[in-house]
Amino acid sequence: MLQQYSFNSLTAVDIEQLVTRNTDATHAIQNAVSQIIDDVRQRGDQSLRELALKFDKVALEKLYLEKEDIQALASTITRDQQRALEIAFQNIHKFHSSQLRRERVVETMPGVACWREVRPIEKVGLYIPGGSAVLPSTLLMLGVPARIAGCKEIVVCSPPQQTGKINGFVAYCLQLLKIEKIYLVGGAQAVAAMAYGTESIPKVDKIFGPGNQFVTKAKSMVQSMVNVSIDMPAGPSEVLVVADHSAQPTFVAADLLAQAEHGPDSQAVLVATSADIIQRVNDELQKQLDVLPRAEIANMALKNSYAIEVTDLHEALDFSNRYAPEHLILETDEWKSLLPRITNAGSVFLGHLTPESAGDYASGTNHTLPTSGYARSYSGVSVDSFVKKITFQHISRDGLLHIGSTVETLAELEGLHAHKNAITIRR
């Protein structure tokens, strides 16, 4: 089960090694992704068809599904399943709708008015992972804020299933979002297609979505190669659970396994205030793992995971902030007092009855979050991710009199006399 460490016995080098994950030391991933990007850029749709056959084992006649196909697939799921997706859609929409606010005009000095206005990013690309688990929830997490922001064109890419199509759950989410086309492209090749454009797939301005290390590497590479931006580095999923004597080992084990079943390169970290808690959680992990359908995948992830014994909750938060987890769960009665100490985390789940899976699906917060320590500098996806904020200013005659001499002086001391003249000629 989880390999155990004592925080007090770890050196700074030990801690740095523990918090570092998903590296590409040999550049094997980068080299493979570079070849895919170059091939898609040069050969477009033909490359995508060949890569679908190679990686997805599907021979595609066409690279997309349109409205009629989507409607037919959406009709294959039950009404209970449709209702669950509708509730998730509504909660995500309600939470994200509150993020779009108009800012006030600020008069920095008499006659000098400054403000910002929101404009949507016109063309956005949404990558919806396939692999071992198809994630319609990710389509909602990305599509809802894109719709709220008012993006004019939403391009969706997701790996094809063995049928050469998508499943009914993704199709129903497309209907909820009023998106009438989806491209059957996965992996690094989907990122390349949206970055450069192909005969079928439009070039976009910004690419969103989580994925494996190949997808994450592709996103990082294309933003430095072509004029496209990305939401964040969102790679293999991870969770860090802080637990003390008040924690329920069954809950903690369930939360760790919920993350571990994402994929073999996921990571689940336990930070506990005693060795006894760690042992009880390990025992419970084995019990729950034995009956888990994705036990093999989860077990591989657990081999990549560990537990840290700490003296107290403050020490636990010190380690958590160094790790900067995608998901942080505080399984303690004392969670309120710990909130001010949290400085680095993608999304935080508070108390014994708030599992990370609620945020993954339906509480309303976004589950597309920074991984691999990038929570130190990135936020999760929000409506802000899909908009630009443009600054405006207006200066009246009175305002020019107030600000003019200041600008002239500053321009002159920098030796930029044309800047100074642009003020002087108006006075």
Q: Show which residues are catalytic.
A: 326-327
For residue 127, say whether it is annotated as part of any ligand binding site: yes
How far is C-alpha 189 from the chain's CA centre?
19
Report helix angle 187-196 to 213-222, nearest 10: 20
For residue 237, say whether it is annotated as part of any ligand binding site: yes
For residue 352, say whether it is annotated as part of any ligand binding site: no
For residue 93, say whether it is annotated as part of any ligand binding site: no
Q: Let me know: does 327 contact 238? Beta carbons within 8 Å.
A: yes
For residue 334, say whether it is annotated as part of any ligand binding site: no
Q: How many CA atoms lie within 13 A of 280 on its CB side?
A: 16
Instruction: Return all residues near 285 (Cβ < 8 A) that are at least 6 apart.
Output: 1, 2, 253, 256, 257, 302
Quote the CA–CA distance of 149 and 143 in Å, as a whole number: 10
Residue whose tokens read 């985390």: 345
Q: Which of 363, 360, 383, 373 is nearest to 235 (CA)?
A: 373
Q: How many CB atoms lie within 10 A of CB 45?
A: 17
Quote the CA–CA distance of 27 and 211 in Å, as a whole number: 18
How far are the Cα atoms of 107, 191, 235, 267, 375 from residue 13, in angstroms, in the given order?
Answer: 51, 35, 24, 20, 21
How far is C-alpha 127 from the chain's CA centre?
11
N- to C-terminal Cα separation, the chain? 76
For residue 213, say whether it is annotated as part of any ligand binding site: no
Which pair of structure tokens corresponds to residue 83? Answer: 């209702």
Quote the CA–CA distance of 10 and 22 in Å, as a whole number: 21
Instruction: Return all residues near 394 (Cβ < 8 A) that are at least 6 apart.
Output: 113
For residue 402, say whether it is annotated as part of any ligand binding site: no
Quote the CA–CA distance of 193 and 38 in Å, as a whole number: 10
DSSP 8-state code for residue 378? -
**3-state secondary structure at position 229:** strand
Quote the CA–CA distance of 125 and 205 in Å, as a whole number: 8
For residue 394, say whether it is annotated as part of any ligand binding site: no
Quote the CA–CA distance of 307 and 272 in Å, as a whole number: 7
For residue 162, say whether it is annotated as part of any ligand binding site: no
Annotated binding site for substrate: 237, 259, 262, 327, 360, 414, 419
Annotated binding site for NAD(+): 127, 189, 212
Annotated binding site for Zn(2+): 259, 262, 360, 419
Annotated binding site: 127, 189, 212, 237, 259, 262, 327, 360, 414, 419
